[in-house]
Structure 1
Amino acid sequence: MAEIRVLTTGEAAKYCGVNFRTIIRWIERGKLRAYKLPGRGDHRIREEDFVAFLRENDLPVPEEFDGAPRSVLVVEDNKEMASAISRVLRREGFTVDVAHDGFSAGAQLATLKPAVITLDLKMPGLDGYGVLRYIRSQEELKHLKVLVVSAETEDGLNQALDEGANAVLRKPFENDALVGAINQLLV
């Protein structure tokens, strides 16, 4: 089982260049997710929550935390295409998981917490637009970067952007374009 790293309010304050009381205020206002230790009541911040907070507020992510967000959930009903996308991303050092439909994607998002998802728009059942609406309606997923990878029409791709996609990539695509688009979303 992977070790869960946590920070104290003082450690988080040093990374942000603020007083620890500012960190406590952010926690109390619900801007920074944290939990209290039993008994003493001191706050602890999970590393992934801290990194998400930094990204959501356009703050620099320290190098020691920068390795964590290289995870991608590929949401694609075509197994060959899902395999091709996964292979390209794994070769570039990404951790990749695959969901073959919108429902599975929603279930996996709750546990995997990827930094980016690639999302096909045309899938049976819950389509890509439905997945986008779900992601943007969930507070804990609003920061998630979404790259739509689809052969959809220009109008369909624009609709995906209107519904909350961060970027679109038309199928067929060059492998370098896929990697470049994902790296751009992680900046």
Structure 2
Amino acid sequence: MAPCGKSMRRLQDKEVLTTGEVAQICHVAPRTVSKWFDEGKLRGYRIPGSRDRRIPRRQLLAFMRAHGLPLDAIDGGILRVLVVGGRGAAALAEAVAAHEGFEARPAANGFEAGVEAQRFLPHVIVLNLECRLDEQVSIARNVRACEALADVKVLAMLDASTRTGTKDDAFDIVLPWPCPVEELVSVIEQVAQSG
């Protein structure tokens, strides 16, 4: 029997899940989740003095991505976007979030981007022009090096003069700056669906 919408919304907001909740999200028996846990395929922890297991949301997302399981039940079909780059990041994140099916958060610099990426687990990271090229490349490489963020797509927005000399495979796609928000949203959707 399919879970009701209210119950699934509650699960989408939780940071730590029980094996029963993971089973509900993945459409498997709770025993299957316990087996994944015991075999080390699904990371989590046991409650001290109990046999109960708990699975952090980020570990479940990484597991689901690694095994090709659909993320709709845990994501609610929302495309999460992290926009990095100075003062303009907040305005751009707000413009992206105004589109249906998108949730976007800003990060002013590389440090904030790293912290927010671990917490927010975005599908796509947009590196705004306000980040220097070397900072954009550094952020992209750090994303690639993090197992929990392995499937995150990285888009860089560069002006014509910066794009000319850029030959770096750190980015999944490079967009021209300035780029209309509608075009950016369209590219984000395409890139997120490709991976």
TM category, shorter: 0.7 to 0.9
Partner of 1:141: 149
**Offset at 1:5?**
5.3
- Give TM-score scaled by structure 1 length: 0.73
Paired positions, count: 179
Whichever residue aligns with residue 127 of structure 2, its letter is: L
The equivalent position to 1:98 in structure 2, one of 94, 97, 106, is 106
Question: For residues 48-94 of structure 1, what are the alpha-carbon distances to aligned partners after superposition, in whole Å with 9 as ceiling and x for unaligned?
Answer: 4323322333222244x2337533221123x34x3542232121143
DSSP-derived class of the 2:82 partner: strand
Distance 1:33 1:150, change over 3 A: farther
**Is the CA contact 2:37–2:44 (under 8 Å) kept in the aligned structure 1?**
yes
The equivalent position to 1:183 in structure 2, one of 176, 189, 195, is 189
Whichever residue aligns with residue 75 of structure 1, its letter is: V
Distance 1:25 1:99, change over 3 A: same
Determine if the alignment matches structure 1 residue 168 to structure 2 residue 169: no
Partner of 1:72: 81
**Offset at 1:172?**
2.4
Distance 2:109 2:17 in 1: 36
Instruction: Output aligned runs, 1:15-164, within 5 Å.
Output: 15-16=25-26, 18=28, 20-63=30-73, 65-67=74-76, 69-77=78-86, 79-80=87-88, 82-93=89-100, 94-120=102-128, 123-124=131-132, 127-151=135-159, 152-153=162-163, 156=166, 158-159=167-168, 162-163=169-170
**Is the CA contact 2:82–2:122 (under 8 Å) kept in the aligned structure 1?**
yes
Once structures 1 and 2 are overlaid, which stretch shifts more, 113-122 or 139-148? Answer: 113-122
- What percent identity do the matched residue pairs reach? 34
Distance 1:31 1:166 in 2: 28
Cα RMSD of the aligned pairs, angstroms, is: 3.2
Gaps of 5+ in 2: 1-11
Once structures 1 and 2 are overlaid, which stretch shifts more, 42-51 or 170-179? Answer: 42-51
**Offset at 1:101?**
2.3
DSSP-derived class of the 1:96 partner: strand
Distance 1:100 1:27 in 2: 37
**Offset at 1:181?**
2.0
**Is the CA contact 2:84–2:131 (under 8 Å) kept in the aligned structure 1?**
no
Whichever residue aligns with residue 174 of structure 1, its letter is: P
DSSP-derived class of the 1:87 partner: helix
Gaps of 5+ in 1: none
Distance 1:44 1:74 in 2: 31
